[in-house]
Structure 1
Amino acid sequence: MPDDSHLPHALRGLRIPAVASPMFIVSNPELVIAQCKAGIVGSFPALNAREAEGEPPMLEVWLKQITEALDRHNQDNPDRPAAPYAVNQIVHRSNARLERDIEICHRWKVPIWITSLGARVEVNQAAHDSGGIALHDVINDRFARKAIEKGADGLIAVAAGAGGHAGPQSPFALIREIRAWFDGPLLLSGAIATGDALLAALAVGADLGYIGSPFIATTEANAVEDYKAMIVASGAEDIVTSSLFTGVSGNYLRPSITRAGLDPEALPEGDVSTMNFKDQGSKPKAWKEIWGAGQGIGAVREVTGAADLIARIEGEYHAAYARLRARVE
């Protein structure tokens, strides 16, 4: 199996070479804890931790909950410690919480920082000052170079087929262009929902896969049952790409768009200037039931626990490796 000794310590020794991507609303402490206990990096967006006005920061509460749960697990399972966790920071000029959330994550010594929608030197420095590493998600080679120039330790290549704000490029093209000059940690996002796809990500040049949409249909996920059921019932043909809902191109479930009274085939273009994180999110309330997902959801056939999902992917990953090895040797 692949050697991970060249990776930062936080990304070594995982059960399978995978990081669970942070999903808006969906990712919560229960899901992150389950992912980490099952042996992969769990993550959540800092903006998911929301408190009412006048209350103490919920992000602090979540980090305490996750840290203590993983510490207890490690004490009880010294031979099977949990994987580290990651926090996603939206580095966008409208995120009024960014400075506060950076301070909290720095104080809690978050091991892995994932940055999106902009690269900032000071965020990467904060991660390093607290002993963490910084991974930045990118949709093309130009953004990848900027992220490394500003101090990111690694990159998440968000290719076509990914959920959320997916890029338009083929993973083969995107990984190849980045690998032409960058030999550091590189993750691939885009329809990775099976162990076969995870192995393919490594074959094309990534160090780890970045898995999101399958975790929507887990018992721990903070998603309504209709959303989970729609993931199970849908496939790649049910994914619609549109910039209408956030101002930036993203992938969404066709049935949720239809249910909102819109024509998925005639959606107007969105305006990037409408993206606003001042109210702790980028989706207007009018679109709160427009649900995101990636093209890999055809592999999701039931709602299950996060640990069971990871076990399924692990089994497929090893079977695919054995099958491929038999064919090429």
Structure 2
Amino acid sequence: MSRDDTHLPKALQGLRIPLIASPLFIISVPKLVIAQCKAGIVGSFPALNAREGEGEHPLLDTWLTQIKEELDRHNQANPDRPAAPFAINQIVHRSNARLDRDLEICVKHEVPIWITSLGARIEVNEAAHSCGGVVLHDIINNRFAKKAIDKGADGLVAVAAGAGGHAGQQSPLALIQEIREWFDGPLALSGAIASGESLLAARAMGADFGYTGSAFIATDEANADQGYKDMIVESGAEDIVYSSLFTGVWGNYLRGSVENAGMDPDNLPQADASSMDFGTDREKPKAWKTIWGSGQGVGAVKSVGSAGSIVDRMEREYLAAGKKLAAEFG
């Protein structure tokens, strides 16, 4: 397969397939990120997943050291099949009191790809650029996309309808089309990208990458409850509930987990953005501890396996779908 990605920043070139694994709250840990990168796609985790006890050395520093050392060992042993780079997600929200410290740690480790969420800030982009990092900012509409680029982001993650966790409501067809009218930089699409066919569709629409999260929950390396993994496998698009109740931001969740928490998924109250809290002492109310996020693409996930097996499957599907369409247009 020959794919021209020379227009992209170097950190985003040469992936096995054009796919970025999205950062999953709690679930994305070094074991998963390393497996994703070794499989040839960008692996990522939220900086806030690394939470140490009071007085302990910053766990984020430890995790980044672990990831870099393991990927370096892999690359030395496999010079013809090097790992893809990793990304760190920074929650750029006023309640994240750890942000400045985490930025310093990421600069120290020269993190190659930064994914920013819930606010675009010039100083965060400048921190990333100071160590050669590329910034992708996630957005749910064209207005936010323009603000992010104006404030110095290098690229965008378009979070469309059907994405897991915090998600927009716009059709990916409309969102990508509007962004591509004015922006020709790096662009990833999030929203039910769980198969090679959907990845090809994202590329056909004009995205440079697919952005996949939910499929990686049902993996051996994911830091997720076995019940969560099994529910991903057992669910389809109709089992996804869109609600603002759990974080104050609209997002998609597994219907079964809402029901298991004793709530009616068809009659959930709304919450507003003022209830968002990303402080270090954040705790979900007891009833919400097992509310599990997921996107509408989970129907493509048929079993729990390794992260590498997800990439293998998506690559096979991507190539087969591409060849099928190529025959039509050839």
TM-score, normalised with respect to structure 2: 0.98
2:91 equivalent to 1:90: yes
Residue 239 of structure 1 is matched in structure 2 by 240
1:67 equivalenced with 2:68 (yes/no) = yes
| Within-5 A mapping of 1:79-228 | 79-228=80-229
Q: Output the amino acid matched with 1:100.
A: R
Pairwise CA distance, 1:60: 0.5
Q: CA deviation at 1:286?
A: 3.6
Q: Which amino acid aligns with 2:232?
A: I
Once residues 304 and 164 of structure 1 are traced to their aligned partners in structure 2, the CA distance between those partners, rounded to angstroms, is: 22
Q: Which residue of 2 aligns with 1:50?
A: 51
The residue type paired with residue 220 of structure 1 is E
Indicate the SS of the match to 2:238.
helix
CA contact (8 A) 1:241 1:251 kept: yes
Q: Quick one: distance in 2 between partners of 1:280 and 1:210? A: 29
**Residue 287 of structure 1: CA displacement?**
1.1
Identical aligned residues as a percent: 70
SS at match of 2:3: coil
Distance change (3 Å), C-alpha of 1:174 and 1:282: farther
User: What are the residue-to-residue correspondences of 1:35-46 with 2, within 5 Å?
Assistant: 35-46=36-47
**3-state SS of paired residue (2:189):** strand
Q: Note if 1:328 corresponds to 2:329.
A: yes
The 2-side partners of 1:58 and 1:213 are apart by 25
Paired AA for residue 11 in structure 2: A
Gaps of 5+ in 1: none
* Secondary structure of the structure 2 residue equivalent to 1:161: coil
Distance 2:187 2:278 in 1: 27
Number of equivalent positions: 329
* Higher mean displacement: 47-56 or 273-282: 273-282
Shift of 1:270: 1.1
| Counterpart residue type for residue 181 of structure 2 | A
Query: What is the rounded CA distance, in whole Å, between the counterparts of 1:18 and 1:230 in structure 2?
Result: 24
For residues 85 and 70 of structure 2, the distance between their equivalents in structure 1, rounded to whole angstroms, comes to 12
1:10 is matched with 11
Contact 1:144 1:155 in 2 (8 A): yes
Distance change >3 Å, CA 282–CA 135, structure 1 → 2: farther
Change in Cα spacing, 1:165 to 1:260, as seen in structure 2 (3 Å) is same
Per-residue CA deviation, residues 92-136 of structure 1 (Å, 9 max, x unaligned), is: 000000000000000000000000000000110011100111000
- What whole-Å deviation, never above 9, does each CA across 1:116-172 have from its counterpart, x for those lacking one? 000000110011100111000000000000000000000000000000101000000
Code of the residue aligned with 2:306 in structure 1: it is: G
Could you tell me how far apart the structure 2 residues matched to 1:287 and 1:271 are?
16
Instruction: Report the AA paired with residue 154 of structure 1.
Output: G
Aligned-pair distance for 1:2?
Answer: 3.3
Letter in 1 for 2:128: A
Q: Secondary structure at the match of 1:217?
A: coil
Q: Compute the RMSD of aligned alpha carbons.
A: 0.9
Return the offset for 1:8. 0.4
Residues 135 and 44 from structure 1, CA distance in 2 versus in 1: closer, same or farther, beyond 3 angstroms? same
